């Protein structure tokens, strides 16, 4: 189990997830909502630390 095996498994999982999205395009909406909330959480955690540094 080397580095390239890990990369290969990740690539297979990416192709599998894209095939699921192709079968049901409505899932993109949930993915976008999840991305927005993840970004909001990262900003919510990082902004106070950034403001403290200034």
Overall number of domains in the chain:
1
The answer to whether residue 12 is domain-embedded is: no
Tens of pLDDT along the chain (54 residues)?
799 999 999 999 999 999 999 999 999 999 899 999 999 999 999 999 988 886
Q: Is residue 17 part of a domain?
A: no
Q: Are 39 and 32 in contact (CB under 8 A)?
A: no
Residue 1, in any domain of the structure: no
Give the pLDDT of residue 23: 95
Tell me, yes or no, whether 4 lies in a domain: no
* Within a domain: 48: yes
Q: What is the pLDDT of residue 14?
A: 95
Residue 2: left if φ>0, alpha if ψ -120 to 50, beta else—which one? beta
Q: Is 51 inside a domain boundary?
A: yes
Q: Model-level pTM?
A: 0.58
Domain membership of residue 45 as a residue range: 25-54
Name, in order, each residue with C-beta under 8 angstroms of 21's C-beta and a sequence gap of 6 or more.
27, 28, 31
């Amino acid at each position: 189990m080397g580095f390239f095996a890990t990369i290969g498994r990740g690539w297979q999982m990416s192709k599998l997830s894209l095939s699921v999205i192709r079968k049901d395009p409505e899932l993109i909406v949930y993915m976008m909502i999840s991305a927005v909330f993840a970004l909001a959480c990262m900003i919510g955690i990082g902004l106070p630390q950034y403001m403290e540094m200034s």
